[in-house]
Chains A and B, each alone.
Chain A
Amino acid sequence: MDDLYRDEILEHYRHPHNFGTLTEPDVVQEGSNPLCGDRITLMLDIGEDGVIHDVAFTGRGCAISQASASMLTDEIRGKPLADLTRLGRQDILDNLGIEISPARLKCAMLSLETLRKGVGDRVTWPSLPEAQDVPA
């Protein structure tokens, strides 16, 4: 049991990075898994150069969803918007670094799906395979 939730995940869960709000964000996007109560509100400051200058999120829910969000915000800070389209399921899983069962995939993917929804009209995304539909 002890090796499943790595220290890094617990640390991101307890002290999530970039947790909070931005004063005048260009993007504010909410996402949630109503079946289990995970929720994220993502905020982005995007410069005229198309680069993500600042990022923040608030949220609550399971360790997987919150740690995943925290790690994702670290990853996208300073990146050009166009680079975001390369992010997929594997990047989320690599960040977490642990086995995610199909039932928990929705938790892990919440932050990426929220990000995609938030910047959806600004870039062209490749289609993302759907996380397995598993009721909570």
Chain B
Amino acid sequence: MTTHAPVGEVATTSVARLDPVAIRADFPIFDRDFGGRRLAYLDSAATALKPRVVIDAVDAYNSRYSANVHRGIYTIGEEATAAYEGARTAVARFINAPDRHEIVFVRNATEAINLVAYTWGRQHIHSGDTIVLTELEHHSNLVPWQLLAQERDADLEFVPIDDEGRLLQATYEALLRTKPRLVAFTHVSNGLGTINPVREMVEAAHAAGAMVLVDGAQAVPHLPVDVQALGCDFYVFSGHKTLGPTGSGALWARRELLESMPPFMAGGEMIREVHLRRTEFNDVPWKFEAGTPDIAAAIGLGAAVEYLEGIGMAAVREHERELVAYALDLLPQEVPDLKLYGPLSPDERGGVVTFNLPAVHAHDVATLLDREAIAVRAGHHCTQPLHERLGEAATARASFNVYSDHEDVERLASALARVQRIFDRPTGGTA
């Protein structure tokens, strides 16, 4: 039986405690008054709030050196290029990629996965091949593979989950015996918070001859990620969930792998030499960055990962683990019939708590919580197949980040209790 210990866990005694109150001072959005209340933002799984340093980095680019990259032989052109490439180096360091040439800037994890599906995928997936996915996957790590499988007449297989939302490893091993070409799965489930045993699953996939893509959208912002230690072939994440600007994200893959892949989008920037009838492509990673990139967003992402490095990802993980433990304990106390989804142990889950109130639709919950400046997500969280497996049309989801604290959890719990009371209150046929 494989372990579920997340890679990069550090003994809690040696981790400095993060101070969410001090951290909130770094985020201007908390200065905004929401009906006399501070925003309790519990939807970081959708996108993260932005610290002042990130906003300033974007602002500085736009106001002081907003030139294009890789072309201008003038001061601000060189400044823009240095900042953009400096951000690439920072991102490589953040996930312990050995070489900054292995970081491709994209708009988000979705684009990164599509990039792999359209390039490596179309190069290597043929009729009769199998791609192994899981029931946990976000639509972005499912639909691109559906399109590829349809186009190439390939098969999709899915690792199922148990009732706590953990992958059935025995089934995974059985599926690997079909010799899939590719295994693609999430590091941390955005729907249930499950932390998957990435290193072990990668080893098993490689032993079976498969390539591995890992969706790190809910991992990189919340726990230490070391792509070398994980050993996968492709790793993707979204910058905007990592305190970075919208429009930022990255694909990591080994240099030789990127060099072997055909281009994705074509045009300026990704070329070395262009003639009327033939073109030589640029080196990696620029081969995969066609046209003018979202320069400001990439620079902002560089500032974001540096900000997080200043806090320390082990501290971030411990902070969120503790908040999840608190929430898993407090929520059922305040709303006795509350239904919780996902692993029961805080050690096996990221900072995501998905739940339902008995007889109250998640949308109504979210609307009422909004009245108290509490932001939760309601719906299927881009995981319709997972929700079918759960047998629920919709769930509510609270997710944590560096700026979340005990007070957020307490506000959530008591607000949920009030929502339940509203829906329980007698109305005596007033209609």
Q: Which residues of A contact B (CB under 8 A)?
A: 1-2, 4-5, 7-8, 10-12, 14-15, 17, 35-38, 60-64, 70, 101, 104, 107, 135-136
Contacts and interface: CB of A to CB of B under 8 A. Distances in A.
Contacts of B415: 1
B367 interface: yes
A18 B19 CA distance: 55
Interface stretch (B25-33, B74-82, B416-424): B416-424
B422 A15 contact: no
A1 B372 contact: yes
A62 B418 contact: no
Given A4-B367, A36-B363, A101-B367, A14 B427 contact: yes
A35 B367 CA distance: 16
Nearest to A70: B431
Given A1-B415, A104-B367, A136-B379, A63 B361 contact: yes
B154 interface: no
A59 B429 CA distance: 20
B429 A36 contact: no
Interface string B391-431: 01110000000000000000000010011001101010111
Nearest to A104: B367
A70 B431 CA distance: 10
Interface string B354-378: 0000001111100110111000001
Given A1-B372, A1-B419, A15 B361 contact: no
Nearest to B384: A34
Contacts of A70: 431
A104 B367 CA distance: 8
B319 interface: no
Interface residues of B, number: 26
Given A62-B361, A104-B363, A135-B379, A10 B394 contact: no
A5 B368 CA distance: 8
Contact of A36 (B360, B379, B423): B379
Interface string B330-365: 000000000000000000000000000000111110
A136 B378 contact: yes
B364 A15 contact: no
B380 interface: yes
A37 B429 CA distance: 27
15 contacts: A1-B372, A1-B418, A1-B419, A2-B418, A5-B368, A8-B431, A10-B422, A10-B427, A11-B427, A15-B429, A36-B380, A36-B394, A101-B367, A104-B367, A136-B378
B363 A64 contact: yes
Contacts of B367: 4, 64, 101, 104
Nearest to A14: B427
Interface centre among B362, B368, B378, B393, by most A CB within 10 Å? Answer: B393
Given A36-B379, A136-B378, A61 B423 contact: no
A5 B364 contact: yes
Nearest to B378: A136
Complex A-B, nearest 9 residue pairs according to Cβ-Cβ distance, in ascending order: A37-B393, A136-B379, A62-B361, A11-B431, A11-B427, A62-B363, A7-B427, A1-B371, A7-B430
Contacts of A15: 429, 431
A11 to B, nearest CB: 4
B47 to A, nearest CB: 14
A18 B148 CA distance: 47
B380 to A, nearest CB: 6
A63 B431 contact: no
Contact of B380 (A12, A63, A136): A136
Contacts of B429: 11, 15
